[in-house]
Amino acid sequence: MKHLNAIFSDIPFRFRLSLLLFVLAGALLASGPARADLLSKPNPMQGYYFGIGATGSMAGLHTDKTGWLSPFFGPGGSFHVGQGITENLALGVSLGTVYTLNSNYAAVIGHFGIELKWRFSGNLFVRPLIGFGLGDLSRRKSRLKKIIPAVTGTYSAAFGYDHFIEVRRWGSGGFAVTPIVWFGAKNGTSLTVLQGGIGVEITWWTGLPKNQLQLPLDAAYE
């Protein structure tokens, strides 16, 4: 396990450089000026998005002091904000936390990261995330005496389906309810976490202005 930790400890720095380049490229794409000859076909996944989610999760934790512990279970929540880049691609940030328990321990596991949402078939999507995590493990039977707080790298992937229950006029932007399945890992010098869960998210897409959409002439001039 120490050898594995040594390998993983180098990963966050490598990802920081690539992540910075990725974010800069995404920001340039997202902030590019609209052009009349580059109008977009309306679809609900356009504009900025704001979402909240709730999840139930299972986690396995390993520390140098305890080794692998019995499975943890608990609820969690997340917040997402970002912007559509292309018809099927969006870039954003995510902040979330999970509170989990087993018979002897309690843990708070959080993350902050950059997410890339790719819609690969209809409204089905995959959403990888890279960022930073926080794990705080306590012993329940010792009045929640803290064992180890740790900062980690965090890596995850979510799979889901956007069910749009309301679409804005002209078909750009809307309100979606999204069931998801997700898996993730966090690794630091003293803490390793493997996680997975199911949940549901509610997301609002603002849509694009009418002058950036391909619309019939009668609709464009209304």
The domain tally of the chain equals: 1
DSSP state string for the chain: -HHHHHHHHTHHHHHHHHHHHHHHHHHHHHHSPP-GGGPBPP-SS-SEEEEEEEEEEEEEEEETTTEEPPPEEEEEEEEEEEEE-SSSEEEEEEEEEEEEE-SSEEEEEEEEEEEEEEEEETTEEEEEEEEEEEEEEEEGGGTSEEEEEEEEEEEEEEEEE-EEEEE-GGG--EEEEEEEEEEEEEE-SSEEEEEEEEEEEEEEE----GGGB---HHHHT-
55 within domain boundaries: yes
CATH code, domain with 50:
2.40.160.20
Q: Do 205 and 173 touch, CB atoms closer than 8 A?
A: yes
17 within domain boundaries: yes
Q: Please write the tens of the pLDDT for every residue from 33-65.
A: 444 446 777 778 888 999 999 999 999 998 887
36 within domain boundaries: no
30 within domain boundaries: no
152 within domain boundaries: yes
15 within domain boundaries: yes
32 within domain boundaries: no
Q: Which domain does 174 fall in, by range?
A: 2-25+41-207+215-220
Q: Please write the tens of the pLDDT for every residue from 190-205.
A: 788 999 999 999 999 9
Q: Do 182 and 197 touch, CB atoms closer than 8 A?
A: yes
Predicted confidence at residue 6, as pLDDT, reads: 42
92 within domain boundaries: yes
Band of pLDDT at residue 103, cut at 50, 70 and 90: confident
Residue among 152, 163, 145 at smallest CA distance from 193 = 152
**pLDDT, mean of residues 68-87:** 92
d(CA 3, CA 8): 9
Q: Do 43 and 164 touch, CB atoms closer than 8 A?
A: no
